[in-house]
C-alpha cells in the first residue's frame, strides 16, 4: 500500500473521495470532495489538463460528484440527490478563485451565497 493510500485510509478521511479521468495511462481530469459527514460536502479540487479542456471532462466529474456519497472504509455508491439528502448532506459547496468560473459552476445549480470572511491573527 502506498503512503497516499495509507493516509486516505485514516479515519479523518472517511468522508473524502476522489474521481479521476484517464486517457489510457495519462491522468487528464481530477476532482476531490471532502465532507463533514453530516450536512455539508465541499468540492475541493477540479482539474483538467489544458489539452483536454472543453471536452466535458470537468462537467462529467462534477455531475458524478453530486450523485456520489462516500461511505467510510473507502467504499462509495452512486446515489440520487434524494438519497444524499436522506444522509443529511444538504449542501455541496465550491470555492473558486477566478470570477470567470462563476458561470461554469452556475450551470450545475451552484449559486453565490453571502459569506463572512475572517482573518486569523497570531496571538
Contact call for residues 21 and 57 (beta carbons, < 8 A): yes
How many angstroms separate the CA atoms of 32 and 47, rounded? 9
Residue with cell 484517464: 22
The bridge status of strand 68-71 relative to strand 75-78 is: antiparallel
Class of domain 3-106: alpha beta
pTM, to two decimals: 0.58
Domain ranges of the chain: 3-106
* pLDDT tens, residue by residue, 58-79: 888 887 776 554 333 333 333 3
Of the two residues 33 and 30, the one the predictor is more confident about is 30
- Which residue is it, cell 470532495? 33
Per-residue confidence (pLDDT) for residue 81, from 0 to 100: 45
Distance CA 21, CA 17 (A): 14
| Between 60 and 10, the higher pLDDT residue | 60
Amino acid at each position: 500500500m502506498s503512503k497516499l493510500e495509507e493516509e486516505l485510509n485514516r479515519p479523518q478521511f472517511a468522508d473524502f473521495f476522489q474521481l479521476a479521468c484517464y486517457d489510457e495511462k495519462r491522468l487528464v481530469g481530477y476532482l476531490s470532495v471532502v465532507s463533514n459527514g453530516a450536512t455539508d460536502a465541499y468540492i475541493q479540487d477540479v482539474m483538467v489538463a489544458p489539452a483536454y479542456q472543453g471536452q466535458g471532462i470537468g462537467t462529467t466529474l462534477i455531475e458524478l460528484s453530486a450523485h456520489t456519497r462516500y461511505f467510510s472504509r473507502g467504499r462509495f455508491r452512486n446515489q440520487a440527490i434524494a438519497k444524499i439528502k436522506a444522509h443529511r448532506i444538504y449542501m455541496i459547496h465550491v470555492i473558486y478563485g477566478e470570477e470567470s468560473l462563476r458561470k461554469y459552476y452556475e450551470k450545475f445549480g451552484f449559486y453565490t451565497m453571502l459569506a463572512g470572511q475572517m482573518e486569523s491573527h497570531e496571538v
